[in-house]
Chains A and B, each alone.
Chain A
Amino acid sequence: MPLVAQQFLLLVGKDLKIEARSRQTIGLVTVLGLLIVVVLGLGLGGGAAGGFGATVVLWVAYLFSGVLCFEKTMAVERSESALAALMLTPISHGTLFLAKLTSNLALMAAVALVITPAGVLFFSFDLSAAPFTFAAVMSLGIIGFAAIGTLFAAVVSSTRLQGGLLAMMIFPVALPLVIASTQLLIHQFRDQLPVGGMGLGVLVAFDAIFLTASWLMFELVLEP
């Protein structure tokens, strides 16, 4: 196995092992996501917009849970100057980014696996017409969101900025994901139209652009 792959697996394994032992992030983030779905469900009166409100509500839950998740996983590196030690090792910063992104994606996937069924259930959102389209659109959205989230979490953690600023940095940048995925799902499930090329193109382009840009710029923002 190439050295880079070994380093990558080692870093991801380290993050997931820490999380498995401490369970600090996953519990907190999942409960927060569920609370958001419940509060918005109650506020909107359940089956708002014929169940399609679920897509927007799920995005709100993903956004807030994601921000907390990225903040927590980066905070782990801050404790006892772990990041400074990590930066001294002969591991490229690009590999550090990819490993951190993968850990964040694993955590977000676990959170989404709990929040999404809850949202679909509470809003009576019938997914039977195209369950794979729903999963694909949401997965593409979460990948792009995690890419910018990992980069900005490194930015915020390297300064003395307040936690709220991470949300402020991520939310406006992530809005194309929210608009494209919600519109795509409304087209698919409400209007019974096949998923359009442009909407899917926006999601794929967002992922490609921000995965590359974040990977390239992670080195600049990383500071012990």
Chain B
Amino acid sequence: MSGIQSKFVRSFWIVLALLFAADLVLIIRYAPDERSMGVIQKIFYLHLPVAINTFLACLTTFVASIAYLWQRKGWWDDLAAAAARVAVQLCAVVLATGMIWGRAAWGVWWTWSPRLTFSLILFLLYVVYLVIRSSVEGRERRAVIGSVYAIIAFLDVPLVWLSARLLPDIHPGSVQLEPAMKLTLAASFVPVTLLAVGLIFTRFVLNRTDSVPRNSAQANAPRDVRTMPLIAGVKAIRYTDGAL
């Protein structure tokens, strides 16, 4: 990474930290407490933007997977893997904040309500995607299998949502927000979305550096260098056989 690029990355994270701090001030000082739930309702300002960004990360994985199968360019697969990893991380935050809210609102850490069930299944779908990727050998094969699974998983998302709605629900149907609450919620989307983009980009760069040099080194290596250990092994066996 060049000097200008690393300076840009550093400034990005510093600005993001400042935005998060400003958002925290808005949530604590500016947004009023909700009448029935009190201060615990403020977790909503983190919960909703993270949930929306989880979906956007899943969408990125889906689009990148289709693009990989279409063009067979490795960087699409690296982007899909990066977005899926971030989707899992964000979904874990959604689940954790949802559970904390559930504990405060209904007195239980977990209930099989449609939204919690949907988040859990979404989390499982993308955890499985990451596990599959780590289990398949061969970069190209891993990319194809990962892409196929990512497409199937994303096509499953609306069906999971619709089927989960058949379960009995205790969530509020719609939430009425005061103008100050709406403004705080809108402001919370900015740092959370930037964080998701930053995490996906960082992971994408890591994936690229992980895959490109190794592949190019293998591709550029002379044939005799790559087969040398094998030839040496065969010669050693022949020598041993002769000696015996």
Contacts and interface: CB of A to CB of B under 8 A. Distances in A.
Interface stretch (A32-40, A64-72, A96-104, A155-163): A155-163
Contacts of A214: 152
A165 interface: yes
Contacts of A194: none
Contacts of A165: 131-132, 135
A217 B159 contact: no
A176 B160 contact: yes
Contacts of B167: 179, 183
Nearest to B166: A183
Interface residues of A, number: 35
B159 A176 contact: yes
B155 A210 contact: yes
Which secondary structure dominates where chain A touches chain B?
helix
A172 B121 contact: yes
Contacts of B128: 168-169, 172
Interface string A158-196: 111110010011001101110110011000000000001
Q: Which of A179, A202, A206, A217 has the most CB of B within 10 A?
A: A179
B151 A172 contact: no
Interface residues of B, number: 29
Contact of A173 (B136, B153, B164): B153
B24 interface: no
B151 A179 contact: no
Contacts of B39: none
A160 B136 CA distance: 7
Nearest to A161: B135
A58 to B, nearest CB: 17
A217 B164 contact: no
A198 interface: yes
A221 interface: yes
A221 B159 contact: no
Contacts of A155: 145, 148-149
Nearest to B122: A172
B162 A221 contact: no
B145 A151 contact: no
A210 B166 CA distance: 21
Contacts of A161: 132, 135-136
Contacts of B162: 176, 180, 198, 201-202, 205
Contacts of B165: 198
B150 to A, nearest CB: 11
B16 interface: no
A203 B128 CA distance: 23
A167 to B, nearest CB: 10
B218 interface: no
Contacts of B117: 179
B144 interface: yes
B163 interface: yes
Contacts of B166: 179-180, 183-184, 196, 198-199, 202
Nearest to A160: B137
A175 B121 contact: yes
Contacts of A217: 148, 151-152
Given A172-B124, A220-B69, A159 B159 contact: no
A198 B159 CA distance: 11
Interface of A: 148, 151, 155, 158-162, 165, 168-169, 172-173, 175-177, 179-180, 183-184, 196, 198-199, 201-202, 205-206, 209-210, 213-214, 217, 220-221, 223
Given A165-B132, A199-B163, A210-B152, 12 more contacts: A155-B148, A159-B137, A165-B135, A172-B121, A172-B124, A176-B160, A179-B160, A183-B163, A196-B166, A206-B159, A217-B151, A217-B152
Interface of B: 69, 117, 121, 124-125, 128, 131-132, 135-137, 141, 144-145, 148-149, 151-153, 155-156, 159-160, 162-167
25 contacts: A151-B152, A155-B148, A159-B136, A161-B136, A165-B135, A168-B131, A169-B149, A172-B128, A177-B163, A179-B160, A179-B163, A180-B166, A183-B166, A196-B166, A198-B162, A202-B159, A202-B163, A213-B151, A213-B152, A214-B152, A217-B152, A220-B69, A221-B144, A221-B145, A221-B148
